[in-house]
Structure formats: C-alpha cells, structure tokens
Structure 1
Amino acid sequence: MKLKKIFLAAVALLAAVTVTACSNNQASSNKEKSYTPKELTVQFVPSVQASKLEAKAKPLEGLLKKQLGIPVHVSVSTDNSALIEAMASKKIDVGFLPPDAYVVAHKRKVADVLLQAQRYGYNEPSGLPNKTLMNKYRAEIVVKKGSKIKSWRDLKGKKIAIQDPTSTSGYVYPIAELYKKGLNVPKECKLVNVKGHDQAVLSVYNGDVDAAFIFSDARPLAAKDEPKVMTQVVPIYFTNYIPNDTISVRSDMSPKFRKKLAQAFKNIAKSKKGKQILENIYSHYGYTDSKDSNFNIVREYEKIAKKATDSK
C-alpha cells in the first residue's frame, strides 16, 4: 500500500513537471514570436538599378501606412546579403527576398516567408508577357543576336554577367543546372558581377560580356533604357521553374501582425494605385499565401551550386 502511494505521488509529480515544462515552452514560443512593430521598416533588393528602384518603391510607404495605421519606411539594400544582415540585426522588419536569399535567411532563423508574388508569364523566346498569373518563373541565359554562342556548351571560357551568389535566377539555378550537365561555370568561365538584371541585359547588348544569367524575362526592364534589346539580346537556355519571390518577415514577428500585414499587401495589390506601384517595382501583380516547404527545391539547387562554387 505504501509502495502504491509512492508510485502515485511520483506520477503526480511527473505530470506537474510536464505541465510546467509545456507551459514554459509555450510561453517561450509566444515570447519568441511577440514582436509587433510600432514603425514598419521594409526593404527591397535591386533587381534593377538601385536608385531607380528606390524612387519606384517610396510611394508604397503611404499605402502601407494607410492599411496598418503606423509609420512605414521603405528602402533598397545594396544586395541580398545586406538585406539578410539587416533583418538579422532587426533593423528591417519586412524583406522582399528572392527564393535563394529567403532560404539562407530562414536557415539562419532570421526570416519566415509570409507571401509569394504572382507575376504574368512570358512567351518564350519573344519575352513578351501573357495574361497567365503564375507563382513560378524561370531563369534564362541570354547572348547578343549573331553571337557564336548557340547553346550552353559554347559558354566555356566566356565572360558571363551574374548577380549576387544568393540570386536564384541570376546565379544559383543556371550554375546548378549547367554543373549537372558538365559545365562548371565558376571554374571554367569568367564571371562579372553586376547590380540588377536590367544591367546584365544591357551589358550583353553593349558587348561588355558574352552572356548573362537573368530572370525570365528581364529584357522588358532593360528595354525601357534601350528598346533594341528585345530583338538584339536573345535567350539560348531556360532553366526549370523557380518559386516566385517572397515577402518575408522577421522570425519574431507576432502571428497577429503577420496576418494583418499579409492582408495589407493583398489589399494594396488589388487597388489601382497599389497595382501600378508594385508593377513598377518588381512586376508583381498579386500575392498568395506561402509556406517554407515550397522552397525545398531551391535548397536542392543551392547545394549543387555551392558544390560548383567550392570546386573553383
């Protein structure tokens, strides 16, 4: 009988400890995701020339302020890595991160995906947009019309314009796919880092490089500066599909504010003024809910690209 009482007391004590631990874990979890901004900081990465992008993005401040009821500050980072660091140091609340940069940020527990952008697809190889909204896109390799480079096999030893190594379409996907095909681009080609996919297209057009890795299709952006790129810069290769860009938030942001923020972006994308602003910034035409597992394919490509880069 005494042994039974001891056993019951032990069970009761274990239950109490378990409940306390669960409560503490829940409290800790809630504390970890309890941040609610009093002023919202939003940052973009330059897919086009940074100064141009900042001018296009600034009007978003007023629209977000109206939706959220708090001051909003919009800026443009120098590149993906700088934006990730700014979110890590909690200087930036919301980052418009391309897929690979998001994967890096999430791995560091810096950011969670909130939304994925929707864009109109492009007819290939003309580069002209169609009316199909998509949650995915492709990277392409472009050369100047008349070039002796006719396929990826001809890129060995050539000068190629790339984006930041965390750029999914401007680096990771082309590097990974060509590596699987037998071309180690970092080792066997001459890489030139440029800021902005429009600048990469113009570099090809001006003869500064032999080819460029860009998102499909960045040529219409460059055509605003030089219309001839639509016919004089041509694609020779398209990668597999990539998940669209993210709107990512600080990992400690509260669920309640995340929900409010997601709805704010969706509302802005549906408004006439907001649609125009978002189109001018990144050619975004809407937003859809997203989850981290959507980017597992990017993680696979990232490993292959890293293998190619490390073997340089």
Structure 2
Amino acid sequence: MRKFAAMMLACLLPLAGAAAAEKEKPDPLPRLRLGVAVGTDETIRERLEPFRRELEAALDLPVDLFLMDTLGNVVDALAAGDIDYARLSSSAYAATYSLCECVEPLATARPDAFPARYYALIVGRATERPLTLEDLAGGRLGVQAPDSVTGYRVPLANLAAEGTDPRAFFRNLVRMRDPVDGLQAVLDGRVDAATAWSTLAGSVASGYTAGTLNEFYVSGAPGLDRLKVIWQSPPIPYDAHTVRLSLPDEFKRKLRAALLDMKGQAPDAYFAVEPDMPGGFEPTVHADYRAVLRTYEPKYQAVLEGAGRP
C-alpha cells in the first residue's frame, strides 16, 4: 500500500504543478483599449480605422479606440491602466514611465531608410583644431525654452548625467529666439555654442537629413561649413508605440510583430497611424529612451528647473 501511495503521489505531483503553472498564466486579453490624442483632428476616428481593423485582424481580438483631448490625457490614462496601448512621443513615454514604471515601448517609426533615431546637440564654431566640450568651459550656451526637449531638457539633463553641471560649467545660458537663430548666434559671436538637434545621417554638406543644421542649410544662410557638432546626446527614437507592462508577454510579442510587418503587409493601416514616417517600424526597448528618461529623474531636476537664469 505504501508503494502504491508513493506511485500515486509521484503521478499527481506533475499534474498539480502543471495546474499551478496554468493558474499563474495571465488571463487572455479580452480586447485591446487603444488611446489616441485627438488634438484638433476631428477626422481622427475615421483616419485611424484602417489601423484599428488591421490590429483586430492581426491580434484576433476587438480593438476599441479611446479618443482623448490631449497627449497629457493619454499619458494619464495609460499610467492609470484605463487604456492598454498608445502611440506616444519619446518624451511622453518618459513622462508615463516616471508616473508609474508600468509601461514599455514596442516599436518606433522611421522617417526614411536610416535608423529611427535623432540626437540633441551642442554646436560651436569650427576651428583648425578639433573642439571638445572642455573648450566651452566658461562660455555662453544658447538654449531654447525650458519645455524644449532637444533644445533644453535633454542636453542639460544628459550633460549632468555625464558629470558636467551645465549651470556651473557655462557662464550663461542665453535664450535664443529659435534653434536656427541659435546657430546664427554662434556664427555672429553672440554665444559660444548653441543647442540643436539632428539625425546625424545622410550628407554632412546639407546638414544631414533633418534637424536644425538641415534647416539652416535650407534657409540659404551662409556659414554651415563653419559650424561643428561638439557634443551629442544618446540617440532618441522618434516615437514610442507603448503598452502596459502587465499585458501578457505573448500578446506583446504578437503586437510588436504586427507593427513591424505592417508597412509591407498593410500600408494603408501603417500610414493611417504614421502619416509622416514613411520608413516603417523598427523595434525598441526601454533603454533606447534613456536620453529623455533622464529629464524626469529627480536628481536632474535642479539643473532643469533653474529656468530663471537663461
């Protein structure tokens, strides 16, 4: 009898373990709640319908659109768990993560064939010898408004993260009218360097594919060849197709795969959600957003909030 009982226990233990493992699996997602910022686009529900239908077909579950007035409303809803998925700017992703640490990015869109990244820059005057950041110590830095991601928040927070307090390092932070004016101020000698942004991809002669240097080139102003990138931030993805961390992992893999295949398999759906990014999706992970995540870290707020000085 003892041998029989032991045999029965040995048979039942694997079954109990399997039942416990099955119980621990998250319940299948009944439907996907997609949050969208309406802004001034009154046709957004109709415009996004091809994207919504493609998600339903690819994921085999209903997809509901939750239309909200602003991107801030979408951030709050995602952090609170009122929606499951949203397309956010990189900075909005960082803001959401700072609220709850409950989200992760799946993909970002490319504007062209180059990697879907851009950089915050500090640009100075070109000299015969290569300039370094140390050469700008005690100088005047042209910056944008304190709410500018690449013209203020990212450069200041990331300089601090690298060990350079910009408020102690530079003599003055000087507010510029706009990023192109900042580059002109460098050439005119009004400041020693200025913040800017760029893809740093494509032709150097035309100021790369996009960004402040390219805008300066397109403006026809002379002197682009007399400007030099002295510092650059970590790369920043263009946007973040973001989901709640609590969603089942298998579902998140399926959604990421659907996004990565979308431009090739359902271009109408892709351009419905990314009309200005014809290059298609590429995958992202949380660490890809570190340059903007730093702007929400408490230890860098003193650098960012000293906004009365520029």
TM-score computed with the length of structure 2 as normaliser = 0.58
Cα contact 2:35–2:68 (8 A) shared by 1: yes
Work out the CA distance in 2 between the residues paired with 1:171 and 1:91: 29
Determine if the alignment matches structure 1 residue 118 to structure 2 residue 110. Answer: yes
Shift of 1:22: 0.6
User: Residue by residue, what CA displacement relative to the aligned partner does 1:273-306 show, whole Å, maximum 9, x if unpaired?
Assistant: 9389722xxxx223324153xx435449957995
Whether 1:247 and 2:241 are equivalent positions in the alignment is: yes
Consecutive unaligned residues of structure 2, counting only runs of 5 or more, are 54-62, 200-209, 304-310
Find the counterpart in structure 2 of residue 134 from structure 1.
Answer: 115
Residue 94 (structure 1) shift:
0.7
1:158 shift after superposition = 4.1
Q: CA deviation at 1:218?
A: 3.1
Counterpart Cα distance in 1 of 2:241 and 2:169: 35
Return closer, same or farther for 1:275/1:222 CA change in 2, 3 Å cut-off.
farther
Length-normalised TM-score, structure 1: 0.57
- Which residue in 1 is equivalent to 2:275? 278
SS at match of 1:96: strand
Aligned-partner residue type, residue 50 of structure 2: K
Distance verdict in 2 for CA 1:304–1:113, change over 3 Å:
closer
User: 1:171 aligned to 2:153?
Assistant: yes
Runs of 4+ aligned structure 1 residues displaced above 6 Å come to 190-194, 205-210, 220-223, 228-233
Q: 1:85 aligns with which of 76, 85, 93?
A: 76
What letter matches 1:134 in structure 2?
P
Gap regions ≥5 residues in structure 1: 45-53, 121-131
CA distance in 2, matches of 1:58, 1:230: 42
Q: What's the RMSD between the two structures over aligned residues? A: 5.3
Take 2:265 and 2:24, find their aligned partners in 1: how far apart are those partners? 37
How is 1:1-312 mapped onto 2 (pairs within 5 angstroms)?
2=2, 4-26=3-25, 29-31=26-28, 33-37=29-33, 40-43=34-37, 54-55=39-40, 61-69=45-53, 72=65, 73=67, 76-77=70-71, 83-92=74-83, 93-98=85-90, 101-102=93-94, 105=97, 108-120=100-112, 132-142=113-123, 152-153=133-134, 154=136, 156=138, 158=141, 160-161=143-144, 167=149, 171-172=153-154, 175-176=157-158, 180=162, 183-185=164-166, 188=169, 200-201=178-179, 204=182, 211-216=194-199, 217-219=210-212, 227=219, 236-239=229-232, 242=235, 244-245=237-238, 246-251=240-245, 255=251, 258=255, 262=259, 266=263, 270-271=267-268, 274=271, 278-279=275-276, 284-292=277-285, 295-296=286-287, 298-299=289-290, 306=297, 309=300
Partner SS for 2:114? strand
Task: State the Cα distance separating 1:117 from its structure 2 match.
Answer: 1.3
